[in-house]
């Protein structure tokens, strides 16, 4: 899966039909085209191929479908692939892993991998329709190390009537891991005891939910190198698990890890059907057995773990008894063991006044480094501090999650409490704790001076103070931090060693400025599922080591990329499911500059605006390698572009037609602005304006005079002698004519004498 994610991050959206992503070395396709189940348009240099064929017609896989892709190392096929014909994978000299998962595969020809040429190291045929293991198919897989046939419910593998029973694996000299979980679950199994003899060299064997053990207790004796065995959900003798004594007696002496999960006493629920000390006698003699898991084995131990049940396991380091429904543990039950990991989850251990082991430090082994007591119904733990310090001096991890604790599980004692200095991880998640503060929190910090990881998510915490300064990881998601936000932010801000901080789902509407300034080592910050609308661009100014930032499911409507200016090591940014309509050019430029370092970006499920002016965002989104998920990148507006992909370059979703309402809006806004620009200064300088009005009025009057003079047909100047009656008569006549709009002709008027002058202009 790690390899898959690395390839996934290194490829782009694919232009090849039916392919989601592809690149020079990777392709992921989903097709229903019977004629091209393996798209031949893909780059011939690809090394990893994931194909989901969901067509209704059965496809026959042959060499022609893969011949072009000579560099393939990994092939993952799922869907309606019916047959592997001869030489299907022949010539693929670099092929190391083949997976045909949940398919209709019902036939594999004997030379499907190419005779003696296969380099395949891993073969996964999980959940197919095969009814038998192909006898001769694996003869060309000399380098095969891991084979997984799990989930083939109808596969007949262990019937003694089969001619070649067990011989399917004969020519697999390199096989080290074989997974047969749920194989033949729908068919009876009566195999012989030497079924696994051809692969006596394997190290890891998974036989959960199978009927192999119906063959008898010696079925595994030939596996002389077996180290890991899983035989969960099997009932060897259709009766009491106590009768498994004989099976345990014949376990290979090399066994290191044994899983026997899901053993249940379906038939009878009484003491005669429980595993006792005698049942485990064979396992106690295994010199290398370090891990024993009886998880989910309801009532197999009855209601009590007896004193001698697990005594004399000389090498046992891990014991998992979770989900076994016992309610008490006898004093001294684990005395003398060298356990490093003890899991007692999901048992009824909370009904007692103290822990079921009492206060005597001799009750448990002092070697325990990890103790898990989740889902045990614990309400309070009296003598908690002294018990932990005395009984588990080497304890590193303590899990009290999923209980009924309402307060921090620390109580005052008069005697001196030596510190449990080894504890670095403490899990109190999914309880009903209301505060991490005060004396109780101080007790925790004093008891665990080296505490680094505190998980307190899914409680009712609304008050924080006096947090342990040694913390490097703090999980407070799904609490009530918002109720005393300022006080709680102040307490968190003091944790200068934090590398991981989870504040998801706390109904936070803001983040306190400077809250993260002291956390110079902060690498992962989770703020998703809150009510954040804005984050100040100086919030992360000192967090130069930040690698992952989660802001999903908030109410952010504009993402200010300057927030990330100093986060030079940021690799992952999740801001999906917000109210962001578009990302501005600064964001795009920032992402282009960080293309090599910021490799994972989620911006899906935002109401993207695909109108005019956002083409730069579309073009960047189309070509970027950072955005991996194509789901949820649809346009929300305008209406005619709704549900179209934002990055669809071939069918541009951006509309650049300016609407008429936009024009009128612009005109109205312009007029309002002009009015403001005129009115405001006019009021302030109203005296000057009044004076200017008077001046303008005078100018207007003069302009009217000029206008009227321009309209006159004649301009005249009359020179006369006022003492001369004849002159005055001439003037009066002239004025009468002029007022009537008639200019008399010169020659029609008589002059008095030669001194009389009439001047015309």
What are the pLDDT digits (tens) for 707-748?
444 444 444 555 556 667 777 777 777 777 766 666 565 444
pLDDT at 246: 84
Q: Of 102, 95, 88, 8, nearest to 52 (Cα)?
A: 102
β 500-502/524-526 pair status: parallel
pLDDT at 637: 84
- What angle separates helix 438-447 from helix 384-391, to the nearest 10 degrees? 10
pLDDT at 636: 87
Report if residue 631 sits inside a domain: no
Report if residue 407 sits inside a domain: no
Question: Cα–chain-centroid distance for residue 184?
Answer: 37
Query: CA–CA separation, 132 vs 151, rounded Å?
Result: 13
pLDDT at 272: 62
For residue range 621-660, list pLDDT tens digits in order: 888 878 866 678 888 888 877 778 887 744 544 445 445 5
> Does residue 702 sit in the same domain as residue 724?
no
Using DSSP's 3-state secondary structure scheme, residue 459 falls into coil
Contact call for residues 366 and 390 (beta carbons, < 8 A): no
Q: Of 545, 495, 491, nearest to 522 (Cα)?
A: 545
Where do we find the tokens 């609304």?
Answer: 462
- Which parts of the chain have pLDDT scores under 70? 1-14, 115-117, 135, 159-166, 186-192, 235-243, 264-272, 350-366, 380-391, 410-420, 628-630, 649-664, 677, 679-696, 698-723, 738-761
Where do we find the tokens 């109580």?
Answer: 411
Report if residue 685 sits inside a domain: yes
Contact call for residues 366 and 394 (beta carbons, < 8 A): yes
Contact call for residues 595 and 626 (beta carbons, < 8 A): yes
Taken in order 90, 91, 96, 97, is the CA torsion positive or negative? negative
Query: CA–CA separation, 324 vs 655, rounded Å?
Result: 64
Using DSSP's 3-state secondary structure scheme, residue 670 falls into helix
Count of other CB atoms within 10 angstroms of residue 410: 20
Provide the domain limits for residue 700.
Answer: 670-711
**Cis amide prior to 638 (ω within 30 degrees):** yes
Report if residue 696 sits inside a domain: yes
Report if residue 675 sits inside a domain: yes
> Does residue 707 sit in the same domain as residue 724?
no
Contact call for residues 481 and 504 (beta carbons, < 8 A): no
Contact call for residues 295 and 261 (beta carbons, < 8 A): yes
Alpha-helical segments (H) within 147-190: none
Distances (CA, A) of 323 to 95, 99, 342, 355, 758: 42, 34, 13, 17, 136
pLDDT at 116: 52
> Does residue 741 sit in the same domain as residue 756?
yes
β-bridge mates for residue 645, sequence order: 634
Both tokens of 677, joined, read: 């620009």
> Does residue 721 sit in the same domain as residue 761?
yes
β 12-13/19-22 pair status: antiparallel
Query: CA–CA separation, 293 vs 445, rounded Å?
Result: 33
Q: Of 219, 159, 217, nearest to 189 (Cα)?
A: 159
**Count of structural domains within the chain:** 2
β 548-550/341-343 pair status: unpaired
pLDDT at 733: 76
Q: Is the pTM of this model over 0.95?
A: no
Helix, strand, coil percentages in the chain from 3-state DSSP, rounded to 5: 20, 15, 60
> Does residue 706 sit in the same domain as residue 732?
no
Query: CA–CA separation, 592 vs 298, rounded Å?
Result: 56
Number of helices and strands in the chain (H, E): 12, 36
Contact call for residues 123 and 144 (beta carbons, < 8 A): yes
Query: CA–CA separation, 194 vs 518, rounded Å?
Result: 65
pLDDT at 122: 94
pLDDT at 749: 47
Report if residue 735 sits inside a domain: yes
Report if residue 760 sits inside a domain: yes
> Does residue 750 sit in the same domain as residue 737?
yes
Contact call for residues 215 and 190 (beta carbons, < 8 A): yes
Query: CA–CA separation, 601 vs 259, rounded Å?
Result: 40
Report if residue 74 sits inside a domain: no
> Does residue 724 sit in the same domain as residue 755?
yes
- DSSP state for residue 627 in the 8-state scheme: B
Question: Cα–chain-centroid distance for residue 381?
Answer: 36
Query: CA–CA separation, 645 vs 62, rounded Å?
Result: 36
Both tokens of 464, joined, read: 């924080």
pLDDT at 755: 46
Phi, psi angles (nearest 5°) of residue 617 = -70, -40
pLDDT at 459: 96
Both tokens of 88, joined, read: 């299907």
R_g of the chain, CA atoms, integer Å: 44
- Collect all residues with Cβ–Cβ distance below 8 Å to 44 and sequence separation of at least 6: 68, 69, 70, 71
3-state secondary structure 530-578: CCCCCCCCCCCCCCCCCCEEECCCCCCCCCCHHHHCCCCCCCEEECCCC
């Amino acid at each position: 899966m790690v390899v898959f994610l690395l390839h996934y991050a290194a490829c782009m959206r694919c232009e090849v039909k039916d392919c989601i992503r592809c690149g020079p070395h990777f392709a992921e396709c989903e097709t229903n085209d019977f004629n091209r189940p393996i798209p031949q348009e893909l780059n011939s240099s690809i090394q990893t191929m994931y194909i989901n064929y969901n067509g209704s017609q059965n496809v026959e896989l042959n060499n022609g479908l893969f011949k072009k892709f000579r560099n393939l190392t990994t092939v993952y096929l799922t869907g309606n692939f019916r047959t592997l014909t001869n030489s299907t994978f022949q010539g693929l000299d670099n092929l190391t892993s083949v997976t045909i998962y949940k398919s209709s595969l019902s036939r594999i020809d004997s030379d499907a991998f190419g005779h003696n040429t296969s380099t395949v190291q891993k073969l996964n045929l999980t959940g197919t329709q095969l009814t038998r293991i192909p006898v001769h198919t694996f003869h060309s897989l000399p380098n095969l190390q891991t084979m997984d046939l799990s989930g083939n419910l109808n596969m007949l593998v262990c019937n003694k009537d089969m001619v070649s029973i067990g011989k399917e694996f004969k020519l697999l000299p390199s096989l080290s891991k074989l997974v047969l979980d749920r194989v033949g679950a729908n068919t009876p199994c009566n195999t012989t005891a030497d079924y696994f003899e051809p692969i006596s060299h394997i190290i890891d064997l998974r036989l959960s939910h199978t009927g192999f053990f119906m063959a008898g207790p010696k079925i595994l004796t030939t596996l002389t190198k077996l180290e890991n065995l899983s035989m969960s959900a099997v009932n060897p003798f259709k009766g009491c698990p106590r009768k498994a004594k004989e099976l345990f007696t014949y376990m290979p002496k090399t066994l290191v890890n044994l899983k026997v999960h899901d053993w249940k006493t379906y038939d009878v629920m009484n003491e005669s059907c429980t595993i006792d000390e005698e049942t485990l006698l064979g396992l106690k003699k295994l010199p290398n057995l370090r891990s024993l898991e009886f998880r989910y084995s309801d009532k197999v131990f009855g209601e009590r773990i007896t004193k001698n049940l697990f005594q004399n396991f000389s090498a046992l380091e891990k014991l998992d008894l979770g989900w076994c429904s016992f309610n008490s543990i006898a004093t001294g039950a684990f005395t003398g063991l060298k356990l490093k990991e003890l899991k007692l989850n999901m048992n009824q251990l909370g009904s007692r006044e103290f822990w079921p082991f009492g206060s005597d430090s001799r009750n448990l082994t002092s070697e325990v480094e990890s103790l898990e007591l989740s889902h045990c119904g614990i309400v309070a733990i009296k003598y908690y501090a002294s018990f932990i310090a005395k009984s588990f001096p080497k304890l590193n991890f303590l899990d009290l999650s999923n209980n009924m604790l309402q307060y921090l599980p620390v109580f005052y004692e008069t005697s001196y409490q030596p510190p449990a200095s080894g504890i670095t991880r403490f899990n109190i998640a999914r309880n009903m704790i209301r505060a991490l503060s005060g004396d109780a929190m101080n007790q925790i910090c004093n008891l665990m001076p080296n505490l680094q990881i505190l998980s307190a998510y899914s409680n009712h915490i609304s008050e924080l103070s006096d947090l342990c300064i040694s913390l490097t990881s703090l999980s407070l998601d799904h609490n009530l931090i918002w109720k005393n936000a300022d006080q709680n932010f102040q307490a968190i801000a003091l944790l200068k060693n934090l590398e991981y901080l989870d504040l998801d789902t706390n109904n936070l509407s803001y983040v306190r400025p400077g809250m993260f300034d002291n956390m110079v080592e902060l690498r992962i910050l989770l703020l998703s599922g809150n009510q954040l609308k804005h984050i100040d661009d100086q919030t992360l100014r000192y967090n130069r080591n930040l690698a992952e930032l989660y802001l999903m499911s908030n109410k952010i409507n504009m993402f200010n990329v300057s927030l990330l200016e100093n986060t030079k090591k940021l690799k992952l940014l999740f801001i999906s499911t917000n109210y962001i309509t578009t990302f501005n050019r600064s964001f795009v430029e920032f992402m282009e500059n960080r293309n090599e370092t910021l490799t994972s970006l989620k911006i899906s499920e935002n109401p993207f605006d695909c109108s005019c002016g956002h083409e730069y965002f579309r073009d960047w989104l189309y070509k970027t390698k950072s955005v991996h998920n194509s789901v949820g990148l649809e346009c929300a507006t305008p209406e005619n572009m709704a549900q179209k992909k934002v990055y669809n370059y071939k069918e541009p979703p951006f509309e650049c037609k300016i609407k008429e309402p936009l024009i009128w809006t612009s005109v109205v806004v312009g007029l309002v602005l002009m009015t403001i620009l005129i009115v405001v200064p006019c009021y302030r300088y109203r005296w000057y304006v009044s004076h200017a009005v008077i001046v303008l009025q005078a100018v207007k009057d003069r302009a009217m005079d000029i206008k009227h003079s321009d309209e006159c047909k004649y301009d005249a100047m009359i020179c006369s002698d006022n003492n001369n009656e004849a002159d005055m008569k001439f003037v009066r006549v002239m004025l009468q004519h002029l007022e009537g709009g008639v200019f008399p002709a010169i020659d029609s008027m008589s002059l008095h004498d030669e001194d009389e002058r009439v001047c015309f202009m």
